[in-house]
């Protein structure tokens, strides 16, 4: 995969660019069709309060991209390792802190987006993005991913309980292949891009619909995506510099 990204960019000169990207920040929201989800051990949790919650998924949220550039339009695809973090449940009472559970899993994301540049001649270029994102596979995590938290005023969290079976139950409900619509805004400064994109599922999230239990309805992800573009010209210059240094 890395070879194909590099080869396409080098062969096609300055029209194609490849690079790396990193997603350090994520806000998600998920909703269900019923108020309670019942687990295999006959315990239940509330599924209310579908508000957006911010998380720092993992340092492994990264990938490669390939971009076709014109003066105002850019088409981009790639492959990312994405951690998907979701929270649900609700506030138990007015006076108590928020009490909720969370689960997360990892997937391989393959987005296809088009970007329209508003200021193509400026140093800082503003972009509007739209496209689709495909989530493939689902990888269970080996550490805590279903737990109860209580948040104080400053949003510091304390892990209260963990249950591996509940984590696996939630991950097993998710469809291993899903299609999301994507829209966003971003900026480009020389070879660096920063995009804020929101994804909304277009296909059913449920691997199998359960008539007697809560099913997923809608999920939203807002991701901050940082990209560093490596131009073929940069590689040629580096190769030339190394050759001169050796001589």
> What would the pLDDT profile of 159-218 be if each residue is shown by its tens digit?
444 467 777 888 899 999 999 999 999 999 988 999 999 999 999 999 999 988 999 999
* Radius of gyration of the chain measured on its C-alpha atoms: 21
Distant-in-sequence, close-in-space partners of 222: CB < 8 Å, separation ≥ 6: 26, 27, 28, 52, 196, 197, 198, 199
How many domains does the chain divide into?
1
Domain region containing 157: 2-246
Distance in angstroms between the alpha carbons of the first and the last residue of the chain? 33
What is the domain-level CATH number for residue 242? 2.40.160.20
| Alpha-carbon span 90 to 100, nearest angstrom | 6
- The confidence band for 144, taking pLDDT boundaries of 50, 70 and 90, is very low
pLDDT digit string, tens, across residues 70-121: 888 999 999 999 989 888 876 555 555 556 777 888 899 999 999 999 888 8
Mean pLDDT of 144-170: 53
- Sign of the torsion angle spanned by Cα atoms 115, 117, 122, 124: negative
């Amino acid at each position: 995969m890395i070879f194909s990204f590099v080869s396409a960019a080098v062969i096609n000169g300055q029209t194609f660019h490849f690079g790396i990207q990193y997603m350090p920040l994520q806000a998600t929201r998920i909703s269900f069709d019923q108020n309670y989800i019942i687990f295999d051990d006959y315990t239940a949790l509330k599924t209310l309060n579908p508000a957006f919650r911010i998380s720092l998924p993992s340092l492994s949220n990264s990938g490669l991209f390939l971009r076709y550039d014109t003066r105002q339009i850019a088409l981009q695809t790639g492959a990312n390792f994405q951690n998907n973090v979701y929270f649900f449940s609700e506030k138990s009472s007015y006076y108590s802190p928020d009490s909720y559970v969370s689960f997360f899993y990892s997937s391989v994301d393959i987005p296809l987006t088009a970007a329209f540049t508003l200021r193509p001649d400026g140093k800082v270029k503003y972009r509007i993005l739209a496209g689709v994102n495909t989530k493939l596979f689902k990888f269970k995590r080996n550490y805590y991913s279903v737990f109860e938290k209580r948040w104080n005023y400053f949003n510091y969290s304390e892990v209260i309980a963990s249950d591996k079976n509940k984590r696996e139950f939630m991950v097993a409900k998710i469809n291993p292949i899903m299609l999301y619509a994507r829209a966003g805004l971003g900026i480009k400064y020389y070879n660096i891009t920063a995009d804020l994109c929101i994804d909304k599922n277009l296909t059913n999230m449920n691997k199998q619909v359960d008539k007697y239990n809560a099913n997923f309805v809608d999920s939203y992800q807002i991701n901050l995506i940082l990209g560093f573009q490596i131009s073929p010209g940069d590689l040629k210059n580096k190769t030339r510099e190394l050759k001169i240094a050796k001589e």
